[in-house]
């Protein structure tokens, strides 16, 4: 079955960096668009970044533009999110998610990894 | 932009519950609904406005097209306590979600 397992979250000071990973299994990773969605404590869902199946198309939300980089590795079936210049307002649970088709809906979500930005 | 209403509701077991999602422009039937139980990640319930995802109980249904959509729970069960989100797709990012509707017993 489809599995998405995030890791790499933790506590970091403002201005610091973190790299989130998402290990995938149960499907042909290279065939699917993937995305990162975050959820601040007690808040709704906020889209962060999106990557095409072939890695040549990327999109970023306003909050991520210029600071975050999404990438993928088909050799290891993994998705990544490099986060630099972190701010207190980046504190959230970060979910890795699979997109069913090109610009389609999200059909599977990971369990999430918590990122806390605090001095 | 997607606007959900109400933002929260309280209903009794067995009640029929309806949640609305309004789009700021027509999106045909490119709308999905997710359920997020406390402490869990979201789970896909419905896509293409009315197609039930495999394994989802049939008490859940979706309808609508264009700018107005509804998610209906025909008979509220204890395990349905959750926050529900709508999501539009079939367009390049940004991905858009509604603000969520918290359902309580």
CB-based contact, A27 to chain B, within 8 Å: no
Distance between CA atoms of A17 and A75, rounded to whole angstroms?
25
pLDDT of residue B48: 97
User: Tens digits of per-residue pLDDT, B8-48?
Assistant: 999 999 999 999 999 999 999 999 999 999 999 999 999 99
Q: How far is A76 from chain B (nearest CA, A)?
A: 24
Lowest mean pLDDT among A52-56, A78-82, B50-54: A52-56
Could you tell me if residue B56 is left (phi over 0), alpha (psi between -120 and 50 degrees) or otherwise beta?
beta
Residue A47 binned pLDDT confidence (cut-offs 50, 70, 90): very high
CA angle A40, A41, A42 (to 5 degrees): 110
Q: How far is B5 from chain A (nearest CA, A)?
A: 14
SS3 B78: helix
CA angle B39, B30, A61 (to 5 degrees): 60
SS3 A31: helix
Are B44 and A106 a contacting pair at CB < 8 A?
A: yes
Q: Are A74 and A29 in contact (CB under 8 A)?
A: yes
Residue A55 binned pLDDT confidence (cut-offs 50, 70, 90): low
pLDDT of residue A72: 95
Are A50 and B93 a contacting pair at CB < 8 A?
A: yes
Distance between CA atoms of A60 and B78, rounded to whole angstroms?
38
CB proximity list for B67: less than 8 A, separation 6 or greater: B22, B23, B24, B25, B26, B27
Residues in B closer than 8 angstroms to A100, CB to CB, are: 47
When scoring B19, B29, B42 by the number of chain A Cβ atoms within 10 A, the one with the most, hence best to mutate, is: B42
User: Tens digits of per-residue pLDDT, B19-28?
Assistant: 999 999 999 9
pLDDT of residue B105: 96
Q: Which residues pair with B62 in a beta bridge?
A: B71
pLDDT of residue B35: 98
> Is-cis flag, bond preceding B94, omega within 30?
yes
Q: Are A46 and A52 in contact (CB under 8 A)?
A: no
Are A107 and B94 a contacting pair at CB < 8 A?
A: no
Are B97 and A95 a contacting pair at CB < 8 A?
A: no
Closest CA to B39 of B81, B75, B8, B77: B81
Residue A54 binned pLDDT confidence (cut-offs 50, 70, 90): confident
Q: How far is B32 from chain A (nearest CA, A)?
A: 7
Residues belonging to chain B:
105
When scoring A59, A98, A105, A110 by the number of chain B Cβ atoms within 10 A, the one with the most, hence best to mutate, is: A105
Quote the tokens at residue A37: 């969605």
CA dist A73 to A31, A53, B20, Å? Answer: 12, 10, 39
Residue B92 binned pLDDT confidence (cut-offs 50, 70, 90): confident
């Amino acid at each position: 079955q489809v599995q998405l397992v995030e890791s790499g979250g933790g506590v970091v000071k403002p201005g610091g960096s973190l790299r989130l990973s998402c290990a995938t299994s149960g499907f042909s990773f290279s065939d699917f668009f993937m995305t990162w969605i975050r959820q601040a404590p007690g808040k709704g869902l906020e889209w962060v970044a999106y990557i095409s199946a072939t890695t040549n198309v990327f999109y970023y939300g306003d909050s991520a533009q210029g600071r975050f980089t999404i990438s993928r590795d088909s050799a290891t079936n993994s998705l990544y999110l490099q986060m630099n210049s972190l701010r207190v307002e980046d504190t959230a649970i970060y979910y890795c998610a699979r997109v069913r088709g090109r610009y389609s809906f999200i059909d599977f979500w990971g369990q999430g990894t918590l990122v806390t930005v605090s001095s | 932009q997607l606007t959900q209403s109400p933002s929260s509701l309280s209903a009794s077991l067995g009640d029929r519950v309806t949640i609305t999602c309004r789009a700021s422009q027509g999106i045909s039937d490119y709308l999905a609904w997710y359920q997020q139980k406390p402490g869990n990640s979201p789970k896909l319930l419905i896509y293409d406005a009315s197609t039930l995802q495999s394994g989802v109980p049939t008490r859940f249904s979706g309808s609508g097209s264009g700018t107005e959509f509804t998610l209906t729970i025909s008979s509220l069960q204890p395990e349905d306590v959750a926050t529900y989100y709508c999501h539009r797709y079939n367009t390049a990012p940004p991905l858009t979600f509604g603000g969520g509707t918290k359902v309580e017993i």
